[in-house]
């Protein structure tokens, strides 16, 4: 009578095994983490757009009220909040021409040139000196007086005496790499400028709108004034973050699909390799089963070895008679 192959368990029968339930819980946890990270990245994708919208509303209200004192908006030696980008502020003080720098590699209207960066020693920032009362002295604020195409000319002349400025606020940049000629820099970093100009210093810089008395106009060869700063990438959805969110969700779906693959492989008895040897879960190698009906014999291999040895030595081997 021929032996019949045992029936293989179905998908759901294998899926209900404790080991597979444990795998399922593990993969669901991984999928949940990936899903949450995807939601976080999607929130980041919309964050800049929402911040820009709030910023525009706040800026419209601020413009109606006019420029605010610099020290009221941003005390010296304080962290620059992102919502202040583009806000109008006023400040009074005197320029320090010996500390003026040119910021290299900056473009305006498609032309590459330099920003004229001049330190202003503040005498009034709208707080009557209270903002630096506990500091070592009057603070300095970096002022971008405009853009110039070359490193010489009348545009670099610094106004003398007390000036009152109206300007846009902008966040400090990261420190640059250096390696430029003397009198030039590649970034507007308050931390780096403090090493040159000294403390106390404001944690951002000003982009000049107008000054009293007025500096040399662009029509007369002076610096070209810059437009109001805006938050970069603030319009619409940030595509990079949205793509990251999609990637996390794909990873989560892959974790669930991997569990389904494991169950299917075990239900099928393991995948067959090209050499005919079975595989375990997901194709992992498994020990080949013993031939059906064979009973292991501890001494069988020794007996077989003895018979083979006798044959190889030429000794006669008894055979059963029929």
DSSP assignments along 87-124, one per residue: -EEEEEEEE-GGG-EEEEEEEETTEEEEEEEEEEEEEE
Q: Is residue 296 part of a domain?
A: no
Contact 203, 170 (CB under 8 A): no
Indicate whether 290 pLDDT > 60. no
Q: For residue 75, name the pLDDT band (cuts at 50, 70, 90).
A: very high
Interacting residues of 32 by C-beta distance below 8 A, sequence separation 6+: 252
Q: Which residue has the higher pLDDT, 267 or 211?
A: 211
Q: Average pLDDT for residues 75-98, to the nearest whole number?
A: 94
Q: What are the strands, taking DSSP E only, across the chain?
A: 68-69, 88-95, 101-108, 111-124, 140-148, 162-171, 184-185, 204-212
Q: Is residue 167 part of a domain?
A: yes
Indicate whether 303 pLDDT > 50. no
Could you give the 3-state DSSP secondary structure of residue 246? helix
Look at residue 322 in the predicted model and tell me its pLDDT.
44
Contact 287, 279 (CB under 8 A): no
Integer CA distances (angstroms), 201 to 92, 137, 139, 141, 196, in order = 15, 10, 5, 6, 11
Q: What is the pLDDT of residues 176-194, one digit of tens each?
A: 888 899 999 999 999 999 9
Q: What is the pLDDT of residues 138-164, one digit of tens each?
A: 999 999 999 999 999 899 999 999 999
Structural domain range at position 100: 66-220
Q: Average pLDDT for residues 313-321, to the nearest whole number?
A: 50
Q: Is residue 134 part of a domain?
A: yes
Q: For residue 82, name the pLDDT band (cuts at 50, 70, 90).
A: confident
Between the ranges 101-105, 230-234, 288-292, 315-319, where is the mean pLDDT highest? 101-105
Q: Average pLDDT for residues 198-211, to the nearest whole number?
A: 96
Q: Which of 38-42, 95-99, 317-321 has the lowest mean pLDDT?
A: 317-321
Integer CA distances (angstroms), 244 to 42, 47, 97, 232, in order = 8, 14, 47, 19
Number of separate domains in the chain: 1
Q: Is residue 13 part of a domain?
A: no
Q: Is residue 147 part of a domain?
A: yes
Which residues sit opposite 201 in a β-bridge? Answer: 140
Look at residue 312 in the predicted model and tell me its pLDDT.
44
Of how many residues is the chain composed? 322
Answer positive or negative: Cα dihedral of 176, 180, 182, 185.
Answer: negative
Q: Is residue 202 part of a domain?
A: yes
Indicate whether 317 pLDDT > 80. no
Could you give the 3-state DSSP secondary structure of residue 283? helix
Could you give the 3-state DSSP secondary structure of residue 292? coil
Indicate whether 23 pLDDT > 70. yes
Indicate whether 278 pLDDT > 60. no
Q: Is residue 150 part of a domain?
A: yes
Q: Is residue 39 part of a domain?
A: no
Indicate whether 309 pLDDT > 70. no
Look at residue 239 in the predicted model and tell me its pLDDT.
79
Q: Average pLDDT for residues 124-143, to the nearest whole number?
A: 96
Which H helix or E strand runs over 49? helix 18-65
CA–CA separation, 6 vs 4, rounded Å?
Answer: 6
């Amino acid at each position: 009578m021929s032996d019949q192959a045992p029936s293989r368990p179905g998908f759901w029968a294998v899926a209900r095994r404790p080991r597979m339930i444990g795998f399922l819980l593990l993969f669901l946890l991984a999928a949940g983490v990936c899903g949450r990270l995807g939601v976080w990245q999607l929130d980041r994708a919309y964050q800049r757009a929402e911040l820009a919208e709030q910023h525009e509303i706040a800026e419209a209200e601020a413009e109606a009220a006019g420029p605010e004192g610099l020290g009221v908006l941003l005390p010296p030696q304080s962290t620059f909040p992102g919502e202040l980008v583009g806000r109008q502020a006023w400040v009074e003080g005197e320029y320090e021409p010996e500390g003026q720098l040119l910021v290299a590699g900056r473009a305006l209207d498609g032309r590459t040139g330099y920003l004229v960066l001049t330190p202003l020693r503040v005498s009034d920032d709208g707080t009557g000196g209270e903002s630096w009362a506990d500091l070592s002295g009057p603070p300095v604020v970096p002022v971008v007086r405009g853009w110039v195409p070359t490193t010489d000319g009348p545009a670099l002349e610094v106004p003398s005496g007390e000036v009152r400025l109206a300007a846009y606020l902008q966040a400090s940049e990261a420190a640059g790499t250096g390696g430029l000629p003397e009198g030039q820099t590649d970034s507007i970093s308050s931390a780096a400028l403090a090493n040159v100009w000294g403390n106390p210093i404001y944690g951002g810089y000003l982009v000049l709108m107008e000054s009293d008395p007025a500096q040399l106009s662009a029509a007369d060869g002076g610096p070209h004034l810059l437009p109001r700063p805006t938050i970069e990438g603030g319009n619409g959805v940030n595509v990079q973050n949205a793509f990251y969110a999609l990637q996390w969700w794909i990873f989560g779906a892959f974790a669930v699909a991997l569990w389904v693959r494991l169950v299917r492989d075990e239900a099928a008895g393991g995948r067959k390799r090209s050499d005919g040897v079975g595989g375990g879960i997901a194709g992992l190698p498994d020990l080949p089963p013993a031939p059906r009906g064979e009973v292991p014999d501890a001494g069988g291999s020794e007996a077989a070895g003895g018979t083979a040895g006798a044959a190889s030595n030429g000794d006669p081997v008894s055979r059963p008679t029929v």
